[in-house]
Structure 1
Amino acid sequence: MNQQVQFNEQVHLHWDQGWLQFDALMAGHKVPCLITLEELARRWGQPLNEPELVSVAFEQLRFDLEAEAEGLIEDEAFDTQGRIWLGHPAI
């Protein structure tokens, strides 16, 4: 596909739903990128039992998560709602 993917600094924690969202922009379109808190905790190596820890974990893993999301976007691995899920196949 070879389109430039950019990420903004906004991160949205959906604590009650159990996932975190960060957004990419590709060809002028917003692409929601999601990771479950369980998967984020697994990658970080410790539990995320407080909302404040989620942002710490994300910031430490941001570069790798954005790189993974960019690859999934380029592979067009969108779910039925046009979102990208890290850590498991598109739903």
Structure 2
Amino acid sequence: MNQSILFPDVQSWDETTQQIRFPAQRQGALIECVLAVTVLEQLSGQQITSEETAVSIFSQYRFDCEELAEQLIEDEAYNALGQIELVVCN
């Protein structure tokens, strides 16, 4: 893992957008990373039906999500809102 990008052990569930949100820090800047429940389902191969399930599965796949986010941050692949939006590559 690149030590210039840090991932605090924090996450939250956004009910409106059905996303897990988690922060990253790079050179003192806070970067919001977002992961849609549909992407988490693809990554895990499990169906997600509740906030508790989403957070639990995210915890199981956190390292993989951080790896994906790290690569997107290094590539400066920010969305229009300045977030890193994780997607699953086929």
The answer to whether the superposition gives a TM-score over 0.5 is yes
- In the other structure, the counterpart of 1:40 is 40
The structure carrying a bigger strand percent of its residues is 1
CA RMSD of the aligned region, Å? Answer: 1.5
Q: Tell me, in whole angstroms, the C-alpha distance in 2 between the residues paired with 1:17 and 1:59.
A: 19
1:54 is paired with a residue whose SS is: helix
Unaligned stretches of 5+ residues in structure 1: none
Q: Tell me, in whole angstroms, the C-alpha distance in 2 between the residues paired with 1:3 and 1:29.
A: 14
The size of the alignment, in residue pairs, is 87
- In the other structure, the counterpart of 2:83 is 83
Among all aligned residue pairs of Structure 1 and Structure 2, give the percentage whose two residues are the same amino acid.
Answer: 32
Q: Tell me, in whole angstroms, the C-alpha distance in 2 between the residues paired with 1:18 and 1:52.
A: 12
Unaligned stretches of 5+ residues in structure 2: none
Q: Tell me, in whole angstroms, the C-alpha distance in 1 between the residues paired with 2:65 and 2:3.
A: 18
Runs of 4+ in 1 over 6 A off after TM superposition: none
1:59 is paired with a residue whose SS is: helix
- In the other structure, the counterpart of 2:72 is 72
Q: TM-score, normalised by structure 1?
A: 0.88
